[in-house]
């Protein structure tokens, strides 16, 4: 009997689409705490809050994308593209509106908020690459 393909094995393992989330959320929590400490030490409470919220915004955004796309993929793989594009447009429209609203207040935590978002993207992406190339790669190889 032929050995099952990676796609067939993934189809049998329904949890594979979300398996990486705990690691990514833990890394984001560490980054948010680190950002809050750095922001607090360098620029005070507003910066601490801004940095932590920025990382949180990124983690929330990526988590939402992961969950929605996992759901779409579990229903029909042809739903991934429209749901992904729709979510992308909705999230960036909302993020832009939030950033304009926050900028109009003159809040001193705006720059740390932006830096927190950027740091969150770097950490999430880096940890995700690490997870895919180490943990996930070991699972799919055997």
CA–CA separation, 46 vs 113, rounded Å?
A: 9
- Predicted TM-score (pTM) of the model is 0.85
pLDDT score recorded for residue 6 = 56
Residue 48 has φ and ψ, to the nearest 5°, of: -60, -45
> Distance between CA atoms of 68 and 87, rounded to whole angstroms?
8
The confidence score (pLDDT) of residue 49 equals 98
Residues 57 and 114 sit within 8 Å (Cβ to Cβ): no
Residue 16: predicted pLDDT: 77
What is the predicted pLDDT for the residue at 135?
A: 81
The tens place of each residue's pLDDT in the chain, 142 residues long, gives 445 565 555 555 667 788 899 999 999 999 999 999 999 999 999 999 999 999 999 999 999 999 999 999 999 999 999 999 999 999 999 999 999 999 999 999 999 999 999 999 999 999 999 998 988 777 666 5
């Amino acid at each position: 009997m032929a050995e099952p393909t990676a796609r067939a094995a993934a189809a049998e393992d329904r949890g594979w689409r979300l398996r990486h989330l705990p690691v990514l959320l833990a890394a984001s929590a560490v980054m948010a705490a680190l950002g809050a400490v750095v922001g607090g030490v360098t620029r005070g409470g507003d910066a601490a809050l801004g940095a932590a919220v920025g990382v949180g915004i990124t983690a929330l955004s990526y988590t939402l994308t992961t969950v929605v796309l996992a759901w779409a993929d579990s229903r029909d793989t042809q739903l991934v593209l429209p749901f992904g594009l729709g979510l992308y447009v909705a999230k960036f429209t909302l993020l832009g509106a939030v950033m304009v609203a926050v900028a109009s207040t003159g809040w001193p935590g705006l720059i740390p908020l932006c830096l927190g978002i950027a740091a969150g993207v770097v950490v999430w992406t880096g940890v995700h690459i690490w997870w895919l190339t180490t943990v996930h790669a070991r699972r799919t190889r055997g």
